[in-house]
Structure 1
Amino acid sequence: MKYTVRPISDRTAFTGQHEASRFTVTYSDVLDLLGRELDHLDAENVVVEVDVEERQIRLDGLLRSDAKAKSPGVRLAFDSNVGPLAYATDAFVRGPSWAYVGTGANRRRRDTMAHPWQHNLYAIAKGLEALRMVDRYGVTKRGEQYTGFKAIGAGTAMPASHMTRTEAAELLERIAIGNEGPLRDRTVRDILDDPAVAFEVRRAARKIAHPDRRGGDHTLWNQVEQAARVLGVAR
C-alpha cells in the first residue's frame, strides 16, 4: 500500500479517552486490510497522519525507525471514487505486545503492533471494512455510506491535486533543476516524456523542499508530493 506519513493536521475528532486495544494482529496485517479497503474505493493521495514532528519523517515520506508518536491518535485522509474522505480516532492505546495464534500443534506466539497509533489505524481499517459490507448486502449502490465523511476535509494534509501533468512538471522543474547541477540540461518536456527523468527531478525537488532542510518548507513539500503523484513518480 502506497501512503505518505504527515504530522497530524486536525485534532478535532480526537477525544482523549482511551481503552486498551484487544487487537492481536501485526502491522503487516493492518496494511494488508487497509490496502484492500482503499483499493475498493480507488483511493489516491493516501496520507496517514501520526502525532510526530516533521523531523521524524524520512525524505521518502515514511516514518523513521526511531520515531515515537506523542499520542495514539491517527488520521487517515485520501481521495476516493466518492470524493475526498478522512477518518480519525485515538480510541485505543497499546494492548498486549504478543498473542497466541492457531490451535493444537500449530499454536504459536507472535508479536503484535508495537505502537498505539497502529492500533487506531487498524480500527479505521476495520471501520472501512464494515462500511463496505453495507454495499455487499445491497443496502446502497453508490457508496452513500461513505459520503458523510466528505466534509471532514481529507485534503488538509495533502490536498487532492488539480494540477495538469504539464503544471506538475513545471513545478518540479522550477524547484529542482536550477539547484541540481546534473539536471540543469533537463526540460519540462524531458520530465513529461521520460519517467526516469521525472523520478530524478522529483527526488531532487524533495531534497530541496523537505522541511528539515535549510530553506525547506511544509507547503512546498506538499506541492512536490502532489506533482509527483500527478506524474506517477511518487514512489
Structure 2
Amino acid sequence: MCLTVAGSDSGGAAGVAADLATFAALGVHGACVITAVTAQDTTGVHRIHPVPHEVVVAQLDAVLADLDPATVKTGMLADPRVVRLVAERCADRVLVVDPVLRATSGAILADDAVLRTYRRHLLPVACVSTPNAEEDEALGWRGTPVIRTGGGAADLLLRPGVEPLWIEHDRVDTTNDHGTGCTYSAALAAFLAQGHELPVAARRAGGYTVDQLRLGSDWDLGRGRGPIAHLHPTSLTGRGTA
C-alpha cells in the first residue's frame, strides 16, 4: 500500500484526489494524511487552510502504526514543521518527495522557510524527488536521486555517481494538465511499492501519466487549465476485476 501526505484539491484534479485515484488505478491501496484544505478549481487556488499540526501528526501516526505503507509520497506540505515531521517519521520508508512549490495556476504553495527545511531535513532522507524544472532550480538538490519532470517529451533521472538517464515519452498537446505532477509522482510511488527498480518505475510512471493526459486531452471541463484524467479501465467499462 501507499501513503500520500498532501493537501486537498476541491476541483478533484491534484493533491490527495489525484494521488488516491492513481493508486487505485495501479492496483495499490492508498491511505492519506491531509496537510491543508484548499479552495481550488481550474482557474487557481483561492484559499488555503492548513490543517492544525497536531491533527497532521495524529493522522500520520495512525497510518504508520497500523497500515505499514510500503511507500510514502509527499505533495503540498506548506509548513516547515510538517516537512520535518515527515522527514522524522518516514526516514526508514521508501519516500517519494514531490516538492509542490507552486500550483499549475501559479499560486505559491511553499515559502523560503519550507524550501530550507526541504533541503536540510526531507530531501536527505528521500529515495527520490520529482521536481519540475523550476522546482529543481529552486531546490538545487543533488544528494539523492532526482527525476526532473515536465521537460516536454522526456524526463531526466539524475543519480549521484551515475550517468544521467533521459526517459523519453510521448508529448500530449493539451491544456487539460492540472494535476500532472501529482499523478506522475503517485504513479512512481505505486510502481516502487510493487517492487520495480527506480528507472523502470520512472518509465512506467511516465507512460501512465501520458495515457491519462491523452485520455482527457479533449475534455471541456472548467474555465482554466482542465484536470488530467483520473479515469481508468474499470471506470470506463463499468466492469470491475477480481
Q: By the TM > 0.5 criterion, same fold?
A: no
Larger Rg: 1
Compute the TM-score of the two structures, normalised by the length of structure 1. Answer: 0.25
Higher helix residue share: 1
Compute the TM-score of the two structures, normalised by the length of structure 2. Answer: 0.24
